[in-house]
Amino acid sequence: MIENNPLTSVIIPVYNCDRYLPEAIESVLNQTYQQFEIIVVDDGSTDKTAQIATIFSDKIRYVYQENSGPSTARNTGIKIAKGEIITFLDADDLWSQNKLQLQLAYLGENPSQEVVIGCTQFMQLTLGDERQKFAEIGEPRIFLNLGSAIFRKSVFEQVGLFDETLRYSEDVDWFNRARESAIAILMHQEVVLFYRQHEQNMTRNKVANELNVLKVLKRSLDRRRSKNDGVATQLSKLS
């Protein structure tokens, strides 16, 4: 079960994203549900991220670490989180205003579920009226993005933290391991995340991202094969 008004830890990993970070933080501060803490984990930024953190210093917990990648940044946030609920938001994305309230309600109504995932609306950076802006592209859809999900903190004890050897596709790897661990995941159709695509997105490095997806999928396949081989061996001993 989930207690009334649980503290929710919002972890924002950031690396040289000062242009978008303030809006990401504001999208959390403007939530209809207000029982949260914001943890900004600065993964060795060399831009004005630290200065922005100072502006929001009374509303966030700011942690600096040497550049180690997004997995390490997220793990750092999880380890210091005080909430029983964990959420993530990339520094260049935005939440819908009712994201936390909506997904906490789903968790409360479905105590057997460990993770809730909503829809993502993709946004493309365009040039209009002599200034850059984000425009919606395509229809909202279910997309295994950490920012569109909410997690019971206990699920990380079952599945483990993010693989710190991965710089890309660490979210795919984690969700694969969650499935292998039979973690109950509820999906809903409301939009909770606005995923903003721009020239600096890590995932725009298409080749590296696709190679890492293949890498984590192979890992998952190897784990399942190993498990099945182990079961087959045990069954053969019984025959």
User: Binning pLDDT at 50, 70 and 90, where does residue 226 land?
Assistant: confident
Q: Is the pLDDT of residue 129 over 60?
A: no
User: Binning pLDDT at 50, 70 and 90, where does residue 199 land?
Assistant: low
Q: Is the pLDDT of residue 235 over 80?
A: no
Q: Is the pLDDT of residue 63 over 80?
A: yes
In the chain, where does DSSP find H-type helix? 21-29, 49-55, 70-80, 99-109, 155-159, 170-180, 206-238
- Mean pLDDT score across all residues of the chain: 88
Q: What is the pLDDT of residues 33-62, one digit of tens each?
A: 999 999 999 999 999 999 999 999 999 999
Q: Is the pLDDT of residue 187 over 90?
A: yes
As a whole number of angstroms, the distance between CA 95 and CA 122 comes to 12
Contact 14, 49 (CB under 8 A): yes
pLDDT in the model for residue 204: 52
Q: Provide the b/e sequence for 49-80 (b: ≥16 CB within 10 Å).
A: beebbeebeeebbbbeeeebbbbbbbbbbbee
pLDDT in the model for residue 230: 53
Contact 126, 135 (CB under 8 A): yes
The secondary structure of residue 92, as a DSSP letter, is T
pLDDT in the model for residue 6: 96
Percent of the chain at pLDDT > 90 equals 68
- pTM equals 0.85
Domain ranges of the chain: 8-201
CATH number assigned to the domain with residue range 8-201, chosen from the 4 options 3.90.550.10, 1.50.10.20, 3.40.50.2300, 3.40.50.300: 3.90.550.10
pLDDT in the model for residue 236: 54
Percent of the chain at pLDDT > 70 equals 82
